[in-house]
Amino acid sequence: MQPLEGKKIVLGISGGIAAYKCAELTRRLSERGAQVKVVMTKAAKEFITPLTMQAVSGQPVSESLLDPAAEASMGHIEIAKWADLVLLAPATADLIARMAAGMGNDLLTTVVLATDAPVAVAPAMNQQMYKNVATQENIATLQRRGMSIWGPASGEQACGDIGAGRMLEPMQLVERCIAQFQPKLLQGKKIVITAGPTQEAIDPVRFISNHSSGKMGYALAEQAARLGAEVTLISGPVNLATPANVTRINVWSAEQMHKAAMEHAPLSHVFIGCAAVADYRPAEIAEQKMKKVDGSDELVVRMVKNPDIIAGVANLTHNRPFTVGFAAETQDVEKYALDKLSRKKLDLICANDVSQAGIGFNSNDNALNLYWPNGHKNFPLASKQALAQSILEQINELTQ
C-alpha cells in the first residue's frame, strides 16, 4: 500500500518563483497514492499555468472565487470539506500576511478559512522578506493557530541573495505529508534532546569546538514533535531554525549543557544525547585576549575533563528516562559503540562512521547502526529526517 493511499491533498499555489516546483511535487504526491486538487492564486498563474497543473494532477484546477459554474455548488466550501490536508506551497509573504489577518479575498484564502483539515505552510520568499519582523510575526500567528510551518530552507535564491527563504524541495514536502498522516506514536511522551557542538572558551575571542552542525539532533526534535511528543531541545551554537512546536534552550559550553540536561532529564520519558560535547575544556579562561609571545612557537593550554552528560543522565537514581546516546567514530564502530552502551549504562546507542565521505558532520545524510542490550538494527544511507523517524520508531518500540 502506498504511504498516501486515499489521502486527499489540496495544494495551494501562490505567486512565487518556486511555483515551478509544484508540477514535480504534485507528481510525487500522486505516485505515493494521494489525490491532489490544485488551487491557484491569480499571481501563481504568472509562474506556472493551470493547464500544466491539471495535466500532472489529473484534476481540474480551481483558480477563481467568482467562477459562477463552481460557486453554483459552493465550490470553495466543497474543496475545503474534501481535503484531508491543505498544503500551501509556495506560501509567499503576501499569502502568509493575508492568512494571518484572516482575509478571504480569493479562492485560496477562503478555502483555508473554510476547512477543518490541517493546514501546512511552506514559506518561499526573499531572505530579507522572510527576516522582516512583520513576516516573522505573521508566521508566529499561524503557528499559534495550529498551522504547521514546513521550512523554509536556506541557500542561494533566484534573486541572487543567499539566506533563509527557499521553499523546501518537492521530496522534502512529500516526506512531511507522509509524516502528517502517520499515527502520533509519541503522543503524551516528553523528550529531551541535546544537539550541536559545545564551545569551550580559551579567552574572550577564542574557543575549542568541533564540526557538529546540529542537523541530526534538530531532525530528531522536528520528527519527535510531529509524532506528538512534547520536545525540549538543548542546543549548542548552530545556524538552524527552531523546529515547530519545540522548546529550545540555547547553551554554549559543556557545563551549561550539563546543567540544563540534568534539570530537564528527570522530567522526561526519553533523553537523547545527540550533541557533540567537548570532552575537555581549558582549566582557566584568560580574562584578556592571549597574545603571541616573542621567541616562543608554542602555546600550552592545560585542559580538564568536562562532565559526562549522557552518563550522568543514565545513572540517575530517581525519575531516570530511557537514555539514548550517539557514538561518532572513525574506526571499529561496533566495538566502541557496544563499549559505550555498556560502560555508560545506556538503553540505546546510535553509532556512525564519520570517516566516510558524505555522511555525519555537516551532511544532510547519514547511515547508522543502532545497538541496545540483545538487539541491533542497521539503517543505510538516508536523509537525517528519515533516519530520525526510524530512530524514534525504534525508541517507541523499546519503551512499550
> Binding site for CTP: which residues?
273-275, 279, 289, 307-310, 326, 340, 344
> Binding site: which residues?
273-275, 279, 289, 307-310, 326, 340, 344
Pair 217, 194: CB distance under 8 Å: yes
What is the amino acid identity at position 164? A
Distance CA 241, CA 237 (A): 11
Residue 11 β-bridge partners: 38, 87
**Of 22, 159, 177, 350, catalytic:** 159
The radius of gyration computed from the CA coordinates of the chain, to the nearest angstrom, equals: 24
Contacts of 155 (CB under 8 A, 6+ apart): 162, 166
Would you call 350 a catalytic residue per the annotation?
no
Cα separations in angstroms, 164 against 4, 124, 151, 155? 29, 9, 9, 7
Contacts of 181 (CB under 8 A, 6+ apart): 3, 4, 7, 84, 85
The residue among 339, 376, 379 whose CA lies nearest residue 359 is 379
Active-site positions read 159
